[in-house]
Amino acid sequence: MILSRAMAASHGWSFVDQERKRDILEAIRTGTATRGPVHAELDLTDRCNVACYFCNQMDVRTRESIPLERVESILDELVAGGLRSVRLSGGGDPLMYPEFERVQEALARRSVVIDNLTTNGALMKREIAASLVHHRAREVIFSLNAADARDYQRMMRVKGSIFDQVVGNIRTLVELRGAAALPTLIVQFLLDAENYRKLPEMYRLGRSLGVDRITLNAVLEIPNERLDTTGLLGPNDHSLVRPYLEQVLEEDRRAGLMQLCFSWPEWNQAIEQMKVRVAQTSDSKGGAPAAEDPPPTTGAVSVGDESMPAEGLAPLHPDFDHCFFGWYTAAIRGTGEMYPCCMLMSPDYEPLGNALDGGVARQWQGEGFSRLRRDMREVFLTGGRIFRREERLPTLRPQCIEAHRCGLKNMYFRGDREFYRQLGEAVDEMRSREVRWLGPPRSMARAAEILAYRCFHGAVVRCRALWRRFKKVGVSLMPKIEQRLKLHVGCGDKHLDGWINIDQQALPGVDVVADVTGGLKFSNVEAVYAEHFLEHLPITAALDFMVEAHRVLGSDGVIRLSTPNLDWVWLTHYRLEASEGEKSTMAVNLNRAFHGWEHQFLWNREMLTKALTACGFVGLSWHRYGESSVPVFRGLERHETYEDNAELPHVLIVEARKGPRQPQLLKTLRQEIQENFLNHMKG
């Protein structure tokens, strides 16, 4: 048995023998079911200990788990159907399952391999790590995602201190594995518009941990648009990331730890160009030869019955990019609900069955998975040249049909040339029978749809080319449109791209040095944003700032302010029923909240509402950290935060629109502040 740490996991494909592959091909050809999944994803629990902003499971998550005795009965059914390997993932985090070690033992007794464990790693106790080494799990992926505690807190929505805990747990597993070949250890990082500049830090952290691979990808979507998607990178943003990627590729030349295979062809093409450039630069300097740095499935991967040469990323057959999971695998959630794969576990996807309702075999042969196989077979027959309609292909999503939209459907299999050759022959034979102009109505309908799709697609390509030409001419003739400004006030060292960053001190990243209470040389501004700024101003200066913000905003301008919540401070920092010793400490802590960190005045919701209204703002709304109904305000917060009660947040975050000036209200408020506060502050 040859073991390669480069790619020990294969989504179970390394354990599929030739006979079972022939069974899969025959079932695709005839439109029937196989006897059961060869590989399964088991999401033992729906519970999770983080709240990643990009998680596609969050909106369907419950707190349910599959009881251990049901897990064992499900495994017995799966093994009877030919199960060889599993992936343990989530759902929730698999290590949230209280009897995780016993599940490992149950799998080992049935000779089922843990092909992959994917976890955030926060609960990776030493005993669990030792068990993974003992049972020779093939691969453990740690979803670290961030380079430091602050970014970890932003992405995972938990305390930043957990970051250090996870890093320590990774080091423990590396230590326990020692020189053994398994498990392969991988650290995963995710890029978005906020953290791509930290790519070199991610690489250096991963390398320092002693793992076998460092994988990198981009956050592709935010399910249900929980946050503004402008915080994500896109297919054309590779130029932004290029200098950081090139730096990492240069640093990784000898180590060969990086695993780069993005979901966008544009990025992968750019990376190949970067690799050539880095190699040429190094050669011209007389550098050492690079380590072999294969893409995800390049090289010899053999950890099961078959040696599986994997040579390159290019498709081997036109049907290379179509999914055959309906005949190969299934995912089972902590609720028992069954899905084709983890990528389709979303609120808008109807489960194909429930393993706790009549068993796995019944669901695998039932209507849900049968419909999935019919839909997937239609994609094979039409070559993906198909107009997707919900009622036509209800079990599939665009990424299931379109090329390059989902790496999971071929990433682990692309090196198996013989299988794809045989799959191509099977599909060609299917089409000769079932896609014909002269034949049954369904065959003629397929042929007509393929022709219509080709005509439509050809027209789209030509229209896009014409539009690009028009834009080149039109842009040069159109008058320049002035871009409206967005002001980030009191920015400190927290620079925001696309904003005018203003601070009283000339710190790195500050665009304009100014005292905003004394006036700003701007007008018709789109938005004003100030995070943890208001509490550092005396109350009169805070009112001056609000008045000035109102003045510089355009008629449709908006403002967003965040500041510590006075009500939270006094309710959490002091208790009348506390002991005498506790009260003395509380007195110090309470006064620290008022006077520490150069605080001048703390606000509660009522006072902030009164002040903004008096300064001419309307439509006040209150928000959680990073969330907003206004796109430009989403995902902006940088200050440290932590979980609290929505009814009593530790930080008030308010948004408002510019309304008519309210001079009388403002005059009354200033008089009230003078009489009730300022007159008592004089020495």
Question: Domain ranges in the chain?
Answer: 13-428, 439-476, 486-680
Structure tokens given for 40: 């399964």
pLDDT of residue 669: 92
pLDDT at residue 367 tops 50: yes
DSSP 581-595: HHHHHHHHHHHHHHH
Higher pLDDT, 281 or 360: 360
Has residue 200 got a pLDDT over 80? yes
The band of 315, judged by pLDDT with boundaries at 50, 70 and 90, is very low
Provide the 3-class DSSP secondary structure of residue 474.
helix
Q: What gap in Å lies between CA 656 and CA 338, rounded to an integer?
A: 45
Name the one residue in this structure whose structure tokens are 């040859």. Answer: 2
Element (H, E) at 256: none
- Res. 312: pLDDT tops 60: no
For 360, phi and psi rounded to 5 degrees? Answer: -65, -45
Nearest to 496 by CA among 633, 636, 592: 636
Interatomic CA distance for residues 261 and 242, integer angstroms = 15
95-102, long-range: CB within 8 Å, 24+ apart, which pairs? 95/119, 95/121, 95/122, 95/123, 95/124, 95/128, 96/45, 96/47, 96/48, 96/49, 96/123, 97/44, 97/45, 97/65, 98/65, 99/68, 100/44, 100/128, 101/127, 101/128, 101/131, 102/68
Provide CB contacts within 8 A for 22, sequence distance 6+.
Answer: 422
pLDDT at 491: 87
Q: What is the CA radius of gyration of the chain?
A: 29
Q: Write down the pLDDT at residue 471.
A: 64
Poorest-pLDDT segment among 106-115, 146-155, 233-242: 233-242
**Helices and strands of the chain, counted as H and E runs:** 19, 19
Q: Check residue 287 and give its pLDDT.
A: 56
Cα–Cα distance, 205 to 209 (Å, whole number) = 6
- Region of poorest pLDDT, from 222-226, 497-501, 508-512, 578-582: 222-226
| Dihedral sign for Cα atoms in the order 409, 411, 412, 417 | positive
- What pLDDT is attached to residue 643? 61
pLDDT band at 631 (very low <50, low <70, confident <90, very high): confident
Helix axis angle for 149-156 and 161-177, nearest 10°, is: 100
Least confident of 13-27, 51-65, 222-236, 303-317: 303-317
Q: Please, which contacts does 120-123 make with residues 24 or more away whose CB atoms are closer than 8 Å?
A: 120/49, 120/50, 120/93, 120/144, 120/156, 120/166, 121/95, 121/166, 121/169, 121/170, 122/49, 122/50, 122/93, 122/95, 122/162, 122/165, 122/166, 122/169, 123/49, 123/93, 123/95, 123/96
Residue 128's contacts (CB-CB under 8 Å, 6 or more residues apart) are 95, 100, 101
Mean pLDDT of 318-346: 87
pLDDT exceeding 70 applies to what percent of the chain?
A: 88
Question: What's residue 288's pLDDT?
Answer: 52
* Statement: residue 264 has pLDDT above 60: yes
Confidence of residue 645 (pLDDT cuts 50, 70, 90): low
The token pair that represents 453 in the structure block = 């799709």
Residue 174 has pLDDT above 90, yes or no: yes
118, pLDDT greater than 90:
yes
Class of domain 486-680: alpha beta
Average pLDDT, stretch 645-670? 86
* pLDDT for res 660: 92
Q: How many residues does the chain have?
A: 683
Place of tokens 């494909």: 13
Would the pLDDT of 320 be above 80? no
Q: pLDDT band at residue 88, thresholds of 50, 70 and 90?
A: very high
The pLDDT confidence band at residue 389, using thresholds 50, 70 and 90, is confident
Q: What is the pLDDT of residue 594?
A: 72
**Closest by CA position to 559, among listed 625, 632, 505:** 632
619, exposed or middle or buried, with CB in 10 Å at 0-12, 13-18, 19+? exposed
When pLDDT is cut at 50, 70 and 90, the band that residue 638 belongs to is confident
- Phi-psi category of 131—alpha, beta or left, where left has phi over 0 and alpha has psi -120 to 50? alpha
* Range with the poorest average pLDDT among 65-74, 162-171, 231-240: 231-240
DSSP 3-state assignment of 50? coil
Pair 40, 103: CB distance under 8 Å? no
Higher-pLDDT residue of 439 and 309 is: 439
The Cα–Cα gap between 440 and 452 comes to 19
Going by pLDDT thresholds of 50, 70 and 90, the confidence category of residue 565 is confident
d(CA 258, CA 266): 18
Q: In angstroms, rounded to a whole number, what is the distance separating the alpha carbons of residues 313 and 207?
A: 25
Compare 610 and 412 and report the one with higher pLDDT. 610
Q: Are 407 and 341 in contact (CB under 8 A)?
A: no
Dihedral sign, CA of 495, 498, 503, 505? positive
Closest Cα partner for 488 from 519, 511, 457, 467?
511
- Decide: residue 92, CB within 10 A, 0-12 exposed, 13-18 middle, 19+ buried: buried
Count the helix, strand and coil residues of the chain and give each as a percent rounded to the nearest 5: 45, 15, 40
Whole-number pLDDT of residue 483: 63
Q: What is the CATH number of domain 13-428?
A: 3.20.20.70
pLDDT of 169 > 60? The answer is: yes
Find which of 144-148, 281-285, 452-456, 669-673 is predicted with most confidence, using mean pLDDT: 144-148
* Cβ atoms of residues 169 and 122 within 8 Å: yes
* pTM of this structure: 0.63
Checking if the pLDDT of 99 tops 80, the result is yes
Spatial neighbors of 540 by CB under 8 A, at least 6 apart, are 670, 673, 678
Per DSSP bridges, beta strands 184-191 and 139-145 are parallel
The continuous run of DSSP H or E covering 552 comes out as: helix 539-552
Contact of 529 with 653, CB cutoff 8 Å? no
The pLDDT value given to residue 409: 75
Rounded average pLDDT over 367-373: 96
* Per-residue pLDDT, 306: 35
Average pLDDT, stretch 594-614?
Answer: 86
Residue type, 186: I
Q: Tell me the CA distances in angstroms from 240 to 192, 196, 281, 504, one per residue in order.
A: 11, 8, 21, 30
pLDDT tens across 390-426, in order?
A: 778 899 988 888 876 777 877 788 778 889 889 989 9
Average pLDDT for the chain: 84
pLDDT in tens, 30-47: 999 999 999 999 999 988
Lowest mean pLDDT among 245-249, 289-293, 367-371, 480-484: 289-293
The predicted pLDDT at position 162 comes to: 94
Q: Dmax of the chain from CA atoms?
A: 100
Question: 262's torsion region: left (phi>0), alpha (psi -120 to 50) or beta?
Answer: beta
Give the per-residue pLDDT at 608: 92
- Dihedral sign for Cα atoms in the order 155, 161, 162, 163: positive
CB-count burial class (<10 Å; 0-12, 13-18, 19+) for 495: middle
Q: Under DSSP, is residue 54 helix (H, G, I), strand (E, B) or coil?
A: coil
Predicted confidence (pLDDT) at residue 319 exceeds the cutoff of 60: no
How confident is the model at residue 114, as a pLDDT?
Answer: 96
Checking if the pLDDT of 277 tops 50, the result is yes
Mean pLDDT of 183-199: 93
Cβ atoms 52, 384 nearer than 8 A: no
Summarize the confidence of residues 222-227 as an average pLDDT.
69
